[in-house]
């Protein structure tokens, strides 16, 4: 770790506007109009969530992500800034729209989600400049899949940053990339489902043993 770098974290990756509908009728898709009891619009996305948590802990956090100049993009940026996240590195000129996820919780509490990838699809690690990297001592990549982040990680480490990342989903096509990049990270996180997918196993214990072959 380069102690001369600012004591801050740069979070890179997924930023969503999440809209939650609760007590959704189960026949939603078979009726013309359904009335829900409440709706909530929040900030989501792995990189944004981590940046929020860090800000709540009193740690300086920057977010590098992609949104559009629409109402969803304005909402998430205003919310993040209000919670202490520095959004100077959030690009607001995406032509693809801000990423939005709609969450419908039915009367039994079961979740159904529809997602529009928007600006997350057009975000690329090359958009993270050396100036951004030098603003922090640590870089966290939120939602690794779909981001060719190997070069970005090496660039960050060359500047003295430590690096953490998470998977957030995946597929067999991503396994080779994951196994090549995971050892580069200082910390790498995944949940049970992602662990099984990455190792092509059905048992968590066997999957954990496989991870030892290429874990940080």
**Over residues 205-211, mean pLDDT:** 89
The per-residue pLDDT for range 64-91, each reduced to its tens digit, is: 999 998 999 999 999 999 999 999 999 9
CA count, 13 A, side-chain hemisphere, 149: 29
Distance (Å, whole) CA 84 – CA 55:
6
pLDDT for residue 146 is more than 60: no
Whole-angstrom distance, CA of residue 49 vs CA of residue 16: 10
Does 182 score more than 90 pLDDT? no
Does residue 172 carry a pLDDT above 60? no
Tell me which of 39-48, 117-126, 143-152, 182-191 is least confident. Answer: 143-152
pTM of the model: 0.88
126, 159, 165, 169: which is closest to 142 by C-alpha? Answer: 165
What pLDDT shows up at residue 92? 86
Quick check: helix, strand or coil at residue 33? coil
Mean pLDDT of 106-129: 88
Average pLDDT, the chain: 88
Q: Which of 3-7, 19-23, 62-66, 147-151 has the lowest mean pLDDT?
A: 147-151
Most confident range (mean pLDDT) of 22-31, 83-92, 120-129, 199-208 is: 83-92
Across 71-85, 110-124, 137-151, 163-177, the highest mean pLDDT is recorded for 71-85
Confidence band, pLDDT 50/70/90 cuts, at residue 60: very high
24 has pLDDT over 70: yes
Q: Give 183's DSSP letter.
A: G
- What sign does the CA torsion over 175, 149, 60, 116 have? negative
| Contact of 198 with 190, CB cutoff 8 Å | yes
């Amino acid at each position: 770790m380069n102690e001369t770098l600012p004591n801050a974290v740069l979070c890179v990756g997924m930023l969503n506007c999440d809209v939650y509908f609760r007590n959704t009728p189960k026949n939603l898709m078979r009726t013309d109009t359904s009335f829900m009891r409440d709706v909530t619009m929040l900030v989501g996305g792995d990189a944004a969530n981590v940046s929020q948590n860090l800000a709540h802990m009193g740690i300086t956090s920057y977010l590098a992500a992609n949104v559009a100049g629409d109402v969803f993009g304005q909402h998430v940026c205003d919310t993040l800034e209000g919670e202490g996240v520095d959004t100077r590195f959030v690009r607001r000129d995406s032509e693809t729209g801000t990423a939005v996820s709609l969450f419908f919780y039915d009367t039994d509490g079961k979740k159904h989600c529809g997602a529009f990838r928007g600006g997350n699809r057009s975000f690329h690690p090359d958009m993270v400049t050396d100036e951004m990297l030098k603003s922090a001592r640590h870089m966290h990549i939120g939602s690794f899949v779909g981001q060719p982040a190997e070069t970005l990680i090496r660039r960050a480490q060359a500047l003295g940053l430590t690096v953490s990342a998470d998977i957030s989903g995946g597929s067999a096509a991503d396994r080779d990339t994951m196994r090549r990049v995971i050892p580069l990270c200082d910390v790498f996180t995944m949940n049970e489902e992602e662990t099984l997918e990455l190792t092509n196993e059905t048992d968590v214990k066997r999957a954990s043993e496989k991870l030892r072959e290429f874990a940080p």
